[in-house]
Amino acid sequence: MEIILALLKVFGVLIGAVLAAAVLTWYERRMLGLWQDRLGPNRVWFFGIGIVVADMLKMFFKDDWIPPFADKPIFVMAPAIMLGSIWMAFAVVPFAPGIHVIDLNVGLLFFMGMSSMAVYGVLLGGLSSNSKFALIGGLRSAAQMVSYEVFMGLSLMGVVMITGSFSLVKIVEAQGDLWFVVTQFLGFIVFMIAGIAESHRLPFDLPEAEQELVQGFHTEYSGMSFGMYMVGEYMGVVLVSVFITTIFFGGWLGPDFLAWTGIAWLSTVTDFFWFAVKAAFFISFFVLLRAAMPRPRYDQLMSLGWKIMLPLTLLNLVVTGYVLLMQT
């Protein structure tokens, strides 16, 4: 029984993450359509959601062309690395009390590690393509993601200091009285911005800036290997939203509005409901950001990272440490 339950959770999370990413491709286009005074895909099935299936079919049956000048093994492996590592990161996310694949006592570090792994997928894809646009895209992403990684991790340390644990379940439980977004507001802002950079979404989509680099690091990819990058990227958006929810917005915590029914398992449903609503809010915010912001220049992005974000993070750490010390 326990094994079945564990398997259910594992596959539930695996498939759930992919499904969320797939639906997000449709959701993003509809929301962009709404914000840009146009329709977006609205023909296939209800509200056009069938476009997701159509896109997947198309992706599966397209010729997966490997350029003759590419470094073949690495070229094939790179998208799998990116997709796989983002997928893995979902393992530590607590969706509701008891609904998680594993509650690692280093959950946060695991997440950081996996998102760093994803950089390799992007970097290797850019380098192995042996194309100039992909190379510049790969270089940009290496520089951008590595430097944003630094304070992405540091920005979470305030939360860890307060909670005294890297376990995500413990972090959520520690927010029973007050969400960390209040006490760790600076950390939240920095993590959010770093998260956008990590999932290279506009305005920080420099590795694949289409106006300059065509498609950046995945210029040479086609068919399903392009599809893997695509899904990986959308899963990245979901992942960052999910982590913002978990770490700063109390994860599953929320009023149990079905308590009057007296059915015990319904409280898990409401917990998951709150989790999903919060995550959806941040996903929508990411989409809105894409509709609203121009893209900064590469060196501007880097100096924003090192000259503003990093000092802010360090300041946050010092203040949090000071306050904690005073309290004890």
Least spacing, CB of residue 50 vs another protein, in Å: 24
| Other C-beta atoms lying within 10 Å of the C-beta of residue 34 | 14
Residue indicated by tokens 């509200």? 47
Distance (Å, rounded) from C-alpha 13 to C-alpha 193? 26
Least spacing, CB of residue 277 vs another protein, in Å: 26
Residue with smaller CB distance to another protein, 80 or 139: 139
Residue with smaller CB distance to another protein, 177 or 299: 299
Distance (Å, rounded) from C-alpha 10 to C-alpha 303? 40
Respond yes or no on whether the N-terminal peptide bond of residue 203 is cis (omega within 30° of 0).
yes
Residue with smaller CB distance to another protein, 157 or 209: 209
Residue with smaller CB distance to another protein, 214 or 258: 214
Collapsing DSSP to helix, strand or coil, 17 comes out as: helix
70-to-76, 216, 223 alpha-carbon distances in Å: 10, 15, 16
Least spacing, CB of residue 139 vs another protein, in Å: 8
Residue with smaller CB distance to another protein, 205 or 271: 205
Residue with smaller CB distance to another protein, 105 or 300: 300
How many CA atoms within 13 Å lie on the side-chain side of 34?
10
Least spacing, CB of residue 215 vs another protein, in Å: 9
Least spacing, CB of residue 198 vs another protein, in Å: 18
Least spacing, CB of residue 138 vs another protein, in Å: 13
The residues of the shown chain that bind another protein, judged by CB under 8 A, are 32, 35-38, 132-133, 136, 202-203, 205, 209-214, 290-300
- CB–CB of 71/130 below 8 Å? yes
Q: What is the helix, strand, coil percentage profile of the chain, to 5?
A: 75, 0, 25
